[in-house]
């Protein structure tokens, strides 16, 4: 087991009543960021972060580097709203956030990120939430491999230096799958171009301000000032589609916690089994939903996410350097 402080505890989880498509969205405040070097854990499972070439150049200014935000669901961007304003990343979103409805949240997110000065990328609501969960349940790894390929292409083409995205928390299979796709995409870029991108994550269920001591030097940490915090709160409050998730987040965390945005270095590749306690929270939730007659199947880590990770890893291992025969 890697030494990795728990992002989310069972006790916290019981408070959350986490739904499989649920998010925890926030409010937050101004910042002064800790100038942090950009690190990438990459496909190795080393405890030590591996610095990348760009780290030397941007250790005093991550804002000088091209960023991408990659999230499973529209609305996640609220958690890192001020970083969004500062970094103005390319934003890629896997699903339309429709959940169990047919109501897409993409329009709301598009308006929000454009107000922040960021821009939508080519992958933007590629799947409905239902399609994402069906693909996970069916073990349809080709869907995820294709997304990793496409994301790698988009990041490479846009000259992105570092990526920020969902953390693996064992709380929502869509979030965990998103992280697997991100890591697989970065592995592909490294294999084809020999270029390592910085790789950061933020929690959607765990405390927004939590940054393990051994990650602090390599993390991007923003502490919001009053104006930035007010803007973040206003965006969160006007995102009506996220109201339920917001209330849950407020219930789970102190409001003050959202003044901090902690982008932690990702120190794992595709082996995510040590990132959370087992069974994953989404398994218990799925069992409840099946018992209640709402779902017919339960997404499980061992049966669904772990094989998906393995397929993504096998596909990435077959990638050849650009120009190779
Ligand atoms: Zn989500």
pLDDT digits (tens, 9 = 90+) for 187-202: 999 999 999 999 999 9
| 65 in a structural domain | yes
pLDDT averaged over every residue in the chain? 83
Span from the CA of 103 to the centroid of ligand 1 (angstroms):
15
Report d(CA 212, CA 130) in Å as an integer.
34
Digit-coded pLDDT (tens) for 281-301: 999 999 998 999 888 899 999
Span from the CA of 322 to the centroid of ligand 1 (angstroms):
34
Span from the CA of 192 to the centroid of ligand 1 (angstroms):
30
Span from the CA of 158 to the centroid of ligand 1 (angstroms):
25
Report d(CA 176, CA 237) in Å as an integer.
26
Span from the CA of 29 to the centroid of ligand 1 (angstroms):
22
Chain-centre distance of CA 229, in angstroms? 21
| 128 in a structural domain | yes
**pLDDT for residue 245:** 83
Mean pLDDT of 47-74: 64
Span from the CA of 207 to the centroid of ligand 1 (angstroms):
15
Span from the CA of 174 to the centroid of ligand 1 (angstroms):
7
Span from the CA of 140 to the centroid of ligand 1 (angstroms):
20
Instruction: Examine the pLDDT at 8 and tell me if it is beyond 50.
Output: no
The first and second tokens of residue 316, run together, are: 């990435």
| 324 in a structural domain | no
Count of domains forming the chain: 1
| 4 in a structural domain | no
Report d(CA 132, CA 144) in Å as an integer.
9
Span from the CA of 320 to the centroid of ligand 1 (angstroms):
33
Span from the CA of 205 to the centroid of ligand 1 (angstroms):
9
Give residue 274's pLDDT band: very low, low, confident or very high (50, 70, 90): very high
| 189 in a structural domain | yes
Span from the CA of 77 to the centroid of ligand 1 (angstroms):
10
| 232 in a structural domain | yes
3-12, 32-41, 154-163, 286-295: which has the highest mean pLDDT? 154-163
**pLDDT for residue 43:** 33
Q: What is the CA radius of gyration of the chain?
A: 18
Buried b (16+ CB within 10 A) or exposed e, 98-130: bbeeeebbbebbbebbeebebebbebbbbbbbb
Provide CB contacts within 8 A for 107, sequence distance 6+: none
What is the residue whose two structure tokens read 């739904």? 19
Q: Which range has the worst mean pLDDT, 12-26, 105-119, 156-170? A: 12-26
Sheet holding 198-202, edge to edge: 119-127, 90-95, 67-71, 162-166, 198-202, 260-265, 220-223
Residue 205 sits in which domain range? 10-271+283-317
**pLDDT for residue 61:** 64
Span from the CA of 54 to the centroid of ligand 1 (angstroms):
30
Report d(CA 180, CA 308) in Å as an integer.
9
Span from the CA of 213 to the centroid of ligand 1 (angstroms):
26
The first and second tokens of residue 169, run together, are: 């928390």
DSSP 111-148: HHHHHTT-EEEEEEEEE-HHHHHHHHHHT-HHHHHHHH
List the CATH number of the domain containing 140.
3.40.50
| 3 in a structural domain | no
Q: Which of 124, 16, 33 is nearest to 72 (CA)?
A: 124
Span from the CA of 59 to the centroid of ligand 1 (angstroms):
30
Span from the CA of 193 to the centroid of ligand 1 (angstroms):
31
Report d(CA 267, CA 183) in Å as an integer.
10
Span from the CA of 55 to the centroid of ligand 1 (angstroms):
30
Span from the CA of 169 to the centroid of ligand 1 (angstroms):
11
Helix (H, G, I), strand (E, B) or coil at 168: coil
Report d(CA 70, CA 54) in Å as an integer.
20
Span from the CA of 110 to the centroid of ligand 1 (angstroms):
16
Span from the CA of 73 to the centroid of ligand 1 (angstroms):
5
Span from the CA of 323 to the centroid of ligand 1 (angstroms):
38
Span from the CA of 21 to the centroid of ligand 1 (angstroms):
6
| 229 in a structural domain | yes
């Amino acid at each position: 087991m890697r030494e990795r402080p728990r992002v989310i505890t069972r006790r916290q989880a019981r408070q959350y009543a986490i739904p499989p498509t649920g998010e925890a969205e926030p409010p937050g405040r101004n910042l002064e960021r800790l100038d942090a070097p950009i690190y990438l854990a990459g496909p190795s499972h080393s405890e030590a972060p591996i610095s990348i070439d760009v780290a030397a150049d941007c250790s005093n200014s991550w804002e000088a580097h091209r960023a991408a935000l990659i999230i499973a669901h529209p609305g996640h961007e609220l958690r890192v709203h001020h970083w969004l304003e500062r970094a103005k990343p390319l934003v890629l979103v896997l699903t339309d956030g429709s959940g169990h409805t047919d109501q897409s949240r993409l329009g709301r997110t598009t308006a929000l990120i454009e107000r922040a000065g960021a821009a939508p990328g080519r992958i933007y609501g590629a799947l409905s939430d239902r399609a994402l969960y069906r693909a996970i349940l069916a073990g349809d790894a080709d869907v995820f491999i294709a997304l990793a390929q496409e994301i790698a292409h988009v990041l490479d083409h846009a000259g992105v230096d570092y990526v920020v995205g969902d953390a693996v928390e064992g709380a929502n299979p869509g979030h965990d799958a998103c992280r697997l796709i991100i890591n697989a995409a970065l592995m592909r870029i490294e294999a084809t171009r020999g270029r390592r991108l910085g790789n950061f994550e933020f929690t959607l269920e765990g405390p927004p301000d939590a940054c393990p001591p051994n990650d602090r030097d390599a993390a991007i940490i923003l502490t919001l000032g009053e104006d930035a915090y007010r803007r973040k709160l206003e965006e969160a409050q006007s995102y009506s589609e996220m109201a339920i998730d917001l209330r849950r987040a407020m219930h789970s965390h102190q409001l003050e916690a959202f003044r901090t945005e902690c982008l932690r270095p990702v120190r794992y590749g595709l082996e995510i089994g040590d990132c959370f306690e087992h069974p994953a929270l989404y398994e218990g939730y799925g069992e409840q939903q099946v018992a209640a007659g709402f779902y017919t199947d339960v997404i499980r880590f061992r049966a669904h996410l772990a094989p998906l990770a393995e397929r993504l890893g096998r596909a990435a291992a077959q990638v050849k350097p650009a120009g190779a025969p």
